[in-house]
Amino acid sequence: MIRRRRECLKCHRRFTSYERIEDIPFMVVKKRGYREPYDRAKVLGGLLKACEKRPVSSQQLEDLVELIEQKITTAENREVHSHEIGRLVMAELKKIDKVAYVRFASVYLDFQDVRQFADQVDSLAP
């Protein structure tokens, strides 16, 4: 990601812009087997929902998405399974905020009953 400081030609205020080099998009293989292009906004949207009303800054979320993108784009294969993205998100989110981790896990792991949810919460206890 390239960070640039710029100045508006009309009002002369300075601002920062971020640029990303775009290349051939990689594909995400969904649970049901179909493929779709990777969408950064979907990952960020899931994180925003999980971190709603939690003390997690937007910069932390941007950094987390950037880290996940680095991990999945360095692979030789241009396809990544959605469960792999979810696993990476959960691992990193667990380090930042445990409540947000449980929220994300409850959707990602698709708990079928309260026992599965309780087991996940119990695994966080020190």
Q: Report helix, strand or coil for 110.
A: coil
Domain positions in the chain are 25-122
Average model confidence (pLDDT) for the chain?
87
Q: What is the DSSP letter of 38?
A: -
Q: What is the pLDDT of residues 43-55, one digit of tens each?
A: 999 999 999 999 9
What is the 3-class SS of 5-24, one letter each residue?
Answer: EEECCCCCCEEEEEECCCCC
Please say if the pLDDT value at position 72 is more than 70: yes
Please give the pLDDT value at position 59: 93
Average pLDDT over residues 66-86: 87
Average pLDDT over residues 37-62: 93
Q: Is 50 exposed, middle or buried (0-12, 13-18, 19+ CB in 10 A)?
A: buried
Please give the pLDDT value at position 24: 64
Q: What is the pLDDT of residues 13-22, one digit of tens each?
A: 999 998 877 6
Amino acid in position 27: M
- pTM for the full model? 0.70
- Quick count: other Cβ atoms within 10 Å of Cβ 15? 9
